[in-house]
Copies of this chain bind each other. A is one copy, B any other.
Amino acid sequence: MTERITVVKIGGNVIDDQTALRRFLKDFAALDGAKILVHGGGKLATRMAQRLELKVEMIDGRRVTDRATLDVVTMVYAGLVNKRIVAGLQAAGCNAIGLSGADGDIVRARRRPAAPVDYGFVGDIERVDDRLLARLLDAGLTPVLPAIMHDGAGELLNCNADSVASALALGAARIAPTDLVFCFEKAGVLRDPADEGSVIGEITPASFAALRTEGVVSGGMLPKIENALKAIAEGVRSVKITHATDLCGTKGTTLRAAAAE
């Protein structure tokens, strides 16, 4: 039986850099115990959409996933990027298995309501099949998921990869104690965005409220931390936000339900 599970999310910047990706996959393959990888897509999908001369529709600064864009992200995230990562992990001795949410119906999403703003084929996670997850982990497999899910009625949906990672960690936590690691291109949550040495070592719900009020944390980091704290509150053992080169290390920002003793 599975004794503990590590869920790792890897961001687009690492995927875009072949050397960084190879190094990351080697570190990931070397992680002890059962594990799950969730990946973003990087700039490949944007570049592909440009090469195909797709019209990019933006509403309030956010991209709309129309049918043609959904096809591109499905091709690039669930096809090219996913299979490259899986083949790379296999070569590193990790028995990876790439899965969109539709595969084995492992993650189901609900299309985001069209009102007040219709962002197209964008979904929010509805449920993770932890029974199938447990079966795969018991078989020694390492699930590798892009953020392409389905609604169970035949529609694929583009989801947020951070949210997918949190949802999978919560599903995994129903099987065994689970640790979640968000890997990206920064050393952690920084007090000063320009200073990689200013990593905030620990964030709790209380300290997060203060950081937000002071304006230390803002922008894209806000939903990442909110996701992380929610995961902790709902049963994930630990969450770390760190640089992709620190997967096996001890740097980065640790999220806790309460300050460490």
A79-107 to B contact mask, C-beta < 8 Å, 1/0: 11011101110110001111110111100
Chain B residues whose C-beta falls within 8 Å of the C-beta of A156 in the assembled complex:
83-84, 87
Distance between Cα atoms of A79 and B48 in the complex (Å)? 14
Nearest chain B residue, comparing its CB with the CB of A105: B90
Chain B residues whose C-beta falls within 8 Å of the C-beta of A52 in the assembled complex:
51-52
A59 within 8 A of B: no
Chain B residues whose C-beta falls within 8 Å of the C-beta of A193 in the assembled complex:
none
Min CB gap A120→B, angstroms: 16
Q: Knowing A75-B76, A95-B105, A105-B90, say if A148 contacts B100 (CB, 8 Å).
A: no
Residues 27 to 80 of chain A near chain B (Cβ within 8 Å): 51-52, 71, 74-80
Residues 217 to 257 of chain A near chain B (Cβ within 8 Å): none
Chain B residues whose C-beta falls within 8 Å of the C-beta of A99 in the assembled complex:
97-98, 103
How many residues from A make CB contacts under 8 Å with B? 39
Chain B residues whose C-beta falls within 8 Å of the C-beta of A97 in the assembled complex:
99, 103-104
**Which residues of A does B touch, CB under 8 Å?**
51-52, 71, 74-80, 82-84, 86-88, 90-91, 95-100, 102-105, 132, 135, 139, 141, 148, 150, 152-156
CB distance A87 to B135 under 8 Å?
no
CB distance A155 to B102 under 8 Å?
no
Q: Assembly of this chain: how many copies? A: 2
Distance between Cα atoms of A99 and B78 in the complex (Å)? 11
Chain B residues whose C-beta falls within 8 Å of the C-beta of A86 in the assembled complex:
100, 102-103, 150
> Per a CB cutoff under 8 Å, which of B79, B105, B154, B155 touches A78?
B79
Q: Knowing A74-B80, A79-B79, say if A87 contacts B132 (CB, 8 Å).
A: no
Chain B residues whose C-beta falls within 8 Å of the C-beta of A98 in the assembled complex:
99-100, 102-103
Min CB gap A236→B, angstroms: 26
Chain B residues whose C-beta falls within 8 Å of the C-beta of A90 in the assembled complex:
102, 105, 150, 152, 154
